[in-house]
């Protein structure tokens, strides 16, 4: 009768694992500040990205929008029921009137915002990132 091996045979020449004792790490290697409970969390935090104020003409609310986020994203994060469908610049649902301020636009489908609309001061909230404080009014569905 054949015996079934329950343990893998030790490889020849493989280094033997040695358990690392906690005391094996010299105390001097750990700075005192890092050894404190919770230390390092404060230092690891990144400073907040510059945020702009976005005033929404539809409901009079003012939200914060970071430089790197779109007006739509900031509005949704703030719990505003901003009209949108694709959030990728393809449908035009989030079309808005930029009443004041400056935005930079992410790539979008030219049919969702024509050059004439852009010249008339309209923008897509899902593609617009603030470059100053803004005043904006969505033109889509009549949500408040």
Residues that bind ligand FES (CB under 6 A): 84-87, 89-94, 112, 124, 126
CA distance 36 to 98: 50
Report which secondary-structure segment, H or E, holds 118: helix 115-119
Cβ proximity to ligand FES, 59 vs 90, nearer residue: 90
Q: Name the minimum Å distance from CB 64 to ligand FES.
A: 20
Cβ 125 to ligand FES, closest distance in Å? 6
Q: Which is nearer to ligand FES, 25 or 106 (CB)?
A: 106
Which CB, 91 or 105, lies closer to ligand FES? Answer: 91
The distance of closest approach from Cβ of residue 117 to ligand FES in the complex, given in angstroms and rounded to an integer, is 12
How far apart (Å, rounded) are the C-alpha atoms in residues 102 and 80? 21
Is beta strand 62-66 parallel, antiparallel or unpaired with respect to 51-56?
A: antiparallel
Give the nearer residue to ligand FES in terms of CB position, either 44 or 142: 142
Strands 134-138 and 51-56: parallel
Kindly state the smallest distance separating residue 88's Cβ from ligand FES, in Å: 6
Closer to ligand FES by CB, 15 or 142: give it: 142
C-beta of residue 70 within 8 angstroms of C-beta of residue 131: no
Terminal CA-to-CA distance of the chain, rounded, Å? Answer: 80
- Of 131, 126, 144, 135, give the one whose Cα is nearest residue 62: 135
């Amino acid at each position: 009768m054949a015996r079934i091996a329950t343990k893998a045979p030790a490889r020849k020449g493989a280094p033997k694992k040695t358990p690392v004792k906690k005391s094996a790490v010299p105390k001097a290697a750990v700075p005192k500040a890092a050894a404190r409970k919770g230390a390092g969390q404060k230092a690891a935090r990144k400073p907040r990205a510059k945020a702009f104020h976005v005033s929404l003409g539809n409901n009079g609310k003012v939200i914060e929008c970071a430089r790197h986020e779109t007006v739509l994203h900031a509005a949704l994060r703030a719990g505003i029921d901003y009209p949108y469908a694709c959030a990728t610049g393809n449908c035009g649902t989030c079309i808005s009137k930029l009443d004041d301020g400056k935005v930079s636009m992410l790539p979008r489908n030219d049919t969702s915002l024509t050059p004439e609309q852009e010249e008339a001061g309209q923008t897509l909230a899902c593609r617009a990132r603030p470059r100053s404080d803004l005043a904006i009014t969505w033109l889509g569905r009549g949500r408040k």
